[in-house]
Structure 1
């Protein structure tokens, strides 16, 4: 009997800078100072560059991606709230933050952050003839230099000085906003949020059912507020429960923070869904945003999440999202209040379409599901994709590292990845996080700054997961190539071998044709060889999309090691299905909760032989390769593809290792049956109960099974594009 740890989590992925993981204390105050010295300056003006015009017809999705990429190349700002258009722009920090704009003899400074205040000190050479702008102070020093000072708050543009400057020195210091300033900036919005919350609470009275409360809001035309996840500080971080604190923010609806001409445009999805539109925000949940970006590669998958809402509900700020949690489909009802600052969402948003809410609402629904925004920092993007779609996944970190260390194992990895890519499965690759101990991550200990700079140079972010569009093996020259999609805004670009414009394509025209790499698609994607990929990515995984498939979910509970429900299945014709087994997620739970640790689990499929059942396959870490061995996996879910032969009788038996059993805790589970087509009329599945004396629970490959008792079970049927239907019966298909 084996008990192995699954790769159920990656290193915590955090945004390196700026930090937003708590209210600042004195020791945490960031005082980055940039010194700039210039003897003389001229008043040259550099006009803004308009995005390149598209010269050919493209589909709406491609058009949106290219428009975003073109905008990124012409506009340096993250939030694009600068009040000055055009001018000569200078950035003071490597990752943006503070900018100086010189235009028409005026020196403007712009704070392109939501969490810092910037202190600008400008020393102007003797003989300079200048006047100060709003909120700037000026004094002449003893050496005849003139000192001008100004403080910029988030998204502010200030004119510091104007006139003729003869040489200057400039110092810019940034530090986190004070609690006092935050509170003053947020108090009015939060007062409004509280008033609307109390109005809905009065309307609800003693009613606690979310559906009934929403109905009352629709009947009375009252703006909806989610009383189970209200717009308050507790939604950000739970006192005494979350280890992380989050600074005060203004809770606002998009109809409150958007310009008036955009308020009627607010909706969950308003245009073609593209990953490039996502701004991950400042929460520190890059793993979740990577999952959202990968999800956005399939617009149908995103739309399936939002298919339940009505226009009447949305008009009142109420949205429904369909998420698969712990193997079971659940509808999450949320209001549209978001954490903001300076009338800008602080967390996830769509940067080119402020009225389009899908990524902000998806993040909020996930936070509600786990208790708070603080509860969703750090995780594995593939696990979030399972929650968003109900589809299985697995990681191949060990196989990737093994191939990176041993050239004889590269071919096996290449064959597997090419096959998966061709089958329609989504392959993803991950970069090491800042605290990673992987074969790559451990290299950063000597010089972390140089390690980060290496990734920034080629446009990659540390601790991120990237979608792989294609995996190609070519024979002449022998190479394994990955086409990686990078939707994240970056100043760097991959320029190595097989990059767009590389001589490799010119030298190998046949490969160029196969890979369709004649020109740069201008969508952030790039080609990279295995030799380079292994130096930047430390692993990855596979996501098996099932959003176009029908799935059936059956609930049960382990009483000790014994399942309350097994399935007995027969098929009238040969049918290939995907079986899954899920246990409760530990995210957001108290450490004393019975589900706070994953149990080692496994799913067994056996076939009838007379009055006996013979084990055919057990799940392993990879759904594509079920095993005859008994290997329990410590993870949220396991799965396997299996072909049901016509006329045979099978049992699907959930298993849990005794090491995962806790006193006074019966661990729930969900069995999933996923199929490319509906199974009614082809497959019959019934809920049964096996006695605790069955030898299947002691790993016998042949065990007795005479007429197991039928039991009623709660089950769901989810047809693509429709809401799941829940029933209770002994017959589940």
Structure 2
């Protein structure tokens, strides 16, 4: 029985009010304050006990050292991988002077490791463009004890995740080296440990590009624990990760569907600079059967890979977008790429306007026309401030037979507005990433229409550029009155490969 919910977020104040605008951040719900308080108290309690017993915190629920296979793979374990678990080290063993934040978080802090979670890391990189947003994710921490408390937005409510500071490590112990490898370090274990076994370069999964900084691998670990294991993070959509981190609402565009590119730039894309709308892009995996070139790219860009949009700006009559690859390297090689022939004379001065420096750091510049020609999908997530309120309701019902026509009428949701308001309506499924090893082969596609109950006038429909999405939504300007949301739900007996 699929379970679906609507999440209406009518704005609490209309445009005539002049209250000061607060910074965007975590979606305020009835449970948010409770989750924040509970998280802080739990971290404080753990730290107090650990100091009393003179030990660091070890998370028995997600113990990388004692139960690495479960933490890596969860329920579905490939027997060939059982003996291949990486080493485990604590943050204090890895870094001489570790700091959760060495400076204000930025996209340059993020480097992907041996896990296919570019979508999640791109979400972090995109969120770093909104000042103060990343800092809200870790509610409480005691770095000396090694305990960190995070909150995530899961299935319309905030959940607390507590982790220790154990991290998977890929560089072997001195005793595991062969003779020739030991000679490189003059057969001296102390020299080897001080050079090879220190610093973030040895982390198995994500790491920061800033020396001694720990927020990137620890947030990744907390997100993995939320889902049960690291393997659950293999493949996904950037916009869904931002929703999980902030409680925001996402919509997906196909670039080929844009009617007026100039209007899209002015009305949608420029929002990337106001910290309330976050964007990411991608295109499908390249078919390499004809060329036989397994390393084929689109001018340096990878198919089936998520990239972050950091900034958009019009300079000297041209429209530019600054993007980033979460790998921290492998950039666009077309026009306006780093070192390209376009960067001559007066145009070099534009680099400062774009806040961009050349170098193989994963960050690159594209002109808007090349951007639209190259990318297939744009993901936009709206982040809310405290002037918005949320109402949510879950409904469970038996689906119709697979051969049944795709139609409205399986369920209906009602809501009322006491006054005219901007409303964001969302129809969502339970996030199957939490039970993907057990969820069978059936996939559901959802859409909805919104009607005024008095006039029976259609007010709007959901917008989605792809099937089988976790949620669909629309934003409407509604008058005071009573409204009905009619879902349309289809299912198919296979699991589509839509995650990247």
Q: Which residue of 2 aligns with 1:448?
A: 293
* Aligned match for 2:432, one of 562, 586, 594: 586
Whether the aligned pair in 1 keeps the contact of 2:110 and 2:206 (CA below 8 Å) is yes
More strand by share: 1
Structure 1 residues 497 and 213, CA gap change in structure 2 (3 angstroms):
closer
Deviations 1:401-460, CA, capped at 9 Å, x for gaps: x6xxxxxx7x6244324421223433332254xxx2xxxx236740425624x644xxx4
Deviation for aligned residue 1:276: 0.9
Q: Does 1:464 align with 2:312?
A: no
Q: Which residue of 1 aligns with 2:169?
A: 340
Q: Which residue of 1 aligns with 2:159?
A: 330
The CA distance in 1 between the partners of 2:439 and 2:355, in whole Å, is: 55
* Aligned match for 2:242, one of 382, 385, 388: 385
Structure 1 residues 505 and 654, CA gap change in structure 2 (3 angstroms):
same
Q: Secondary structure at the match of 1:364?
A: helix
Q: Which residue of 2 aligns with 1:539?
A: 377
* Aligned match for 1:219, one of 49, 60, 67: 49
* Aligned match for 1:606, one of 451, 460, 467: 451
Structure 1 residues 394 and 283, CA gap change in structure 2 (3 angstroms):
same
Deviation for aligned residue 1:512: 8.5
Q: Which residue of 1 aligns with 2:211?
A: 353
Q: Secondary structure at the match of 2:205?
A: coil
The CA distance in 1 between the partners of 2:453 and 2:442, in whole Å, is: 35
The CA distance in 1 between the partners of 2:80 and 2:388, in whole Å, is: 39
Q: Secondary structure at the match of 2:244?
A: helix
Q: Which residue of 2 aligns with 1:292?
A: 124
Structure 1 residues 482 and 258, CA gap change in structure 2 (3 angstroms):
closer
Deviation for aligned residue 1:598: 4.1
Structure 1 residues 390 and 213, CA gap change in structure 2 (3 angstroms):
closer
The CA distance in 2 between the partners of 1:541 and 1:243, in whole Å, is: 37
Q: Which residue of 2 aligns with 1:235?
A: 71
Structure 1 residues 256 and 567, CA gap change in structure 2 (3 angstroms):
farther
Q: Secondary structure at the match of 1:643?
A: strand
* Aligned match for 2:269, one of 414, 418, 421: 421
Counting only pairs closer than 5 Å after superposition, residues 330-729 of structure 1 correspond to structure 2 as: 330-342=159-171, 343=197, 344-354=202-212, 356-397=213-254, 399-400=255-256, 412-423=260-271, 424=274, 425-432=277-284, 436=285, 441-442=286-287, 445-449=290-294, 451-452=296-297, 455-456=299-300, 460-471=301-312, 481-486=320-325, 488-490=327-329, 494=333, 496-499=334-337, 521-522=357-358, 525-530=363-368, 532-533=370-371, 536-546=374-384, 550-560=388-398, 566-572=413-419, 574-590=420-436, 592-593=438-439, 597-609=442-454, 614-621=457-464, 634-645=468-479, 648-653=480-485, 655-657=487-489, 659=491
Whether the aligned pair in 1 keeps the contact of 2:446 and 2:487 (CA below 8 Å) is yes
Counting only pairs closer than 5 Å after superposition, residues 274-285 of structure 1 correspond to structure 2 as: 274-285=106-117
> Which 5+ residue runs of structure 1 have no aligned equivalent?
1-208, 403-408, 623-631, 662-733
Whether the aligned pair in 1 keeps the contact of 2:206 and 2:216 (CA below 8 Å) is yes
RMSD (CA atoms): 4.0
Structure 1 residues 530 and 242, CA gap change in structure 2 (3 angstroms):
farther
Structure 1 residues 450 and 555, CA gap change in structure 2 (3 angstroms):
closer
Whether the aligned pair in 1 keeps the contact of 2:331 and 2:364 (CA below 8 Å) is no
Deviation for aligned residue 1:641: 0.9
Structure 1 residues 368 and 554, CA gap change in structure 2 (3 angstroms):
same
Structure 1 residues 210 and 633, CA gap change in structure 2 (3 angstroms):
same
State the structure with bigger RCO (CA 8 A, min sep 6), 1 or 2: 2
The CA distance in 2 between the partners of 1:297 and 1:534, in whole Å, is: 22
Q: Secondary structure at the match of 2:241?
A: helix
Structure 1 residues 244 and 361, CA gap change in structure 2 (3 angstroms):
farther
The CA distance in 2 between the partners of 1:351 and 1:590, in whole Å, is: 32
Q: Which residue of 1 aligns with 2:17?
A: none
TM-score by length of 2: 0.68
Q: Which residue of 1 aligns with 2:88?
A: 251
Q: Secondary structure at the match of 1:483?
A: strand
TM-score by length of 1: 0.48
Whether the aligned pair in 2 keeps the contact of 1:556 and 1:564 (CA below 8 Å) is no
Structure 1 residues 650 and 513, CA gap change in structure 2 (3 angstroms):
farther
Deviation for aligned residue 1:618: 2.5
Deviations 1:658-693, CA, capped at 9 Å, x for gaps: 6489xxxxxxxxxxxxxxxxxxxxxxxxxxxxxxxx
Q: Secondary structure at the match of 2:115?
A: coil
Q: Which stretch shifts more, 549-558 or 367-376?
A: 549-558
Whether the aligned pair in 2 keeps the contact of 1:322 and 1:329 (CA below 8 Å) is yes
Q: Which residue of 2 aligns with 1:309?
A: 140
> Which 5+ residue runs of structure 2 have no aligned equivalent?
1-38, 172-196, 400-408, 494-500
Q: Secondary structure at the match of 1:288?
A: helix
Whether the aligned pair in 1 keeps the contact of 2:412 and 2:484 (CA below 8 Å) is no
The CA distance in 1 between the partners of 2:342 and 2:42, in whole Å, is: 63
Deviations 1:180-202, CA, capped at 9 Å, x for gaps: xxxxxxxxxxxxxxxxxxxxxxx
Q: Which residue of 1 aligns with 2:182?
A: none
